[in-house]
Amino acid sequence: MSEAISVTTKPLDLDADGLPDEWELKYFEAEPSLATADPDGDGLTNLEEFNAGTDPMDFYNGVKPLLERSFEGGPGPNGELAIMVRKPDGSPWVGAPINFSVRSGGRRISTTPNGPDYVYRLEVRTDSNGLAQVYLEPIQP
């Protein structure tokens, strides 16, 4: 009977950036990624996300935020829609992305009252208080 030996293999990392090629392909497909990049804006670099075992494309990293809708979920003054985003411990979640969309009703969304960026869908990041807000604007005939 022969003695068992242990073998450890190192994952392929052709660009030598510390990120295994298989991991980069999983999240970035054919696009090369930078170890220092932070595509989801959560403050963790791709290398930190890899080491932590988190998704570099998920700001929340699987943690469910607490959302508090202002104005009872409807538009407030000047057509404002606002959502407060908090971490599970209740603290504001600064820089958190929130998607607002208008499905019907003859309105579009803008980042400022009477703003120039009329769209039907808009991603907004929360401010230093954890507040994300947009404004509903009527579609011009």
Over pLDDT 70: what percentage of the chain? 95
How confident is the model over 40-56, as pLDDT tens digits? 999 999 999 999 999 99
What is the pLDDT, as a whole number, of residue 56?
Answer: 95
Give the contacts of 52 (CB within 8 A, at least 6 positions apart): 44, 61
Tens-place pLDDT, residues 49-88: 999 999 999 999 989 999 999 998 888 988 899 999 999 9
Higher pLDDT pick, 97 / 72:
97
CATH domain 66-138 topology: Immunoglobulin-like (2.60.40)
Average pLDDT over all residues of the chain: 88
Residues of the chain with CATH 2.60.40: 66-138
Question: Is a pLDDT exceeding 90 seen at residue 113?
Answer: no
9 compared with 48, residue with greater pLDDT: 48
Higher pLDDT, 139 or 47: 47
For residue 12, give Cα distances in angstroms to 5, 25, 38, 56, 58. Answer: 22, 12, 22, 19, 24
Kindly report the pTM of this predicted structure: 0.74
* pLDDT beyond 70 at 32: no
Higher pLDDT pick, 20 / 107? 20
Q: Which whole-number Å values give the CA distances from 5 to 1, 2, 9, 11, in the listed order?
A: 13, 9, 13, 20
Q: Are 93 and 124 in contact (CB under 8 A)?
A: no
